[in-house]
Amino acid sequence: MANGALPHDRWELEWCVQALRVSGCVQAARWTDLGEGEGYVHSFNGPHSLFADTIRSMRSLALAHRLGAALHAEQDRRVSLLERWAAHLRATARYSVYYGEGRDIYDVLGRVAHESLFNPVSRTYRCPGTQQGYSPFSTWTRGLAWVLLGFSESLEFLRALDAAERAAVQGPALEATMLRAARATADFYIEHTSLDGVPPWDHRRAGPRADGRVARAAGGSVRRLRALR
């Protein structure tokens, strides 16, 4: 409607806007608190589970924030969707992405763990896991592609925020965190993709199970990331 592709209908437009606001709040309510302003939107497995590909849901939080939505928690406490968006991105960069720094014996620069498991009571990280990859210690390439796409999109969104919004999420530090994660995963993707451009479904299981969806998501993300330099 905004670009004239559909006839303008005020009520239909308002329903669409409201649906987008509610969707962002519903996603943000699925929250595991790690203390000191940190946390993540947990997966359908429960509060203990951070999925790498949940970064896709940050689109919903970002758009709902843009549309003026806010989550209201217990005692009608107002929760910033923007701050939860930023916290989830920090958690994904910290726990889902590896940087070759000796975190464990499978710590390879740019590797992505599909699932990160926590003790939600003590708010401590436990170990990597997976639901769709070959193992917790390999990289399910579609999850990596979602992480690469999610960070490149989020970098664009961060740069579109005004000064007050950027200050609220510690913009310079968040940008550095996302750039580091995006570059690491981009390098890993390029290194582990065959010359035909179609990566295996998991980097430890090269063979007939290739995944063209990964190439579509990651290829566009690499180009987007180059434009952000």
Question: Can you give the residue range of the structural domain that contains 105?
Answer: 10-227
Instruction: For residue range 111-123, list pLDDT tens digits in order.
Output: 999 999 999 999 9
d(CA 127, CA 110): 17
Contacts of 83 (CB under 8 A, 6+ apart): 37, 168, 169
Q: In this predicted model, what pLDDT tens digit does every residue of 15-30 receive, in sequence order?
A: 999 999 999 999 999 9
Report yes or no on 40 lying in a domain. Answer: yes
- Any bridge partners for residue 35, and if so which? 38
> Domain with 105 in it: what CATH number?
1.50.10.10
Looking at per-residue pLDDT, the higher value among 8 and 30 belongs to 30
The answer as to whether 37 is a domain residue is: yes
Task: Report CA Rg, the chain.
Answer: 18
Q: What is the domain count for the chain?
A: 1
4 is a domain residue = no
Indicate whether 100 belongs to any domain: yes
Q: Tens digits of per-residue pLDDT, 143-157?
A: 998 999 999 999 999
- Residue 1 counted as domain residue: no
Assigned domain for 5 exists: no
Q: Kindly report which listed range (72-86, 93-107, 208-222) carries the lowest average pLDDT score.
A: 208-222
Residue 2 lies in a domain: no
Neighbours of 103 (CB within 10 A): 12
Domain annotation covers residue 52: yes
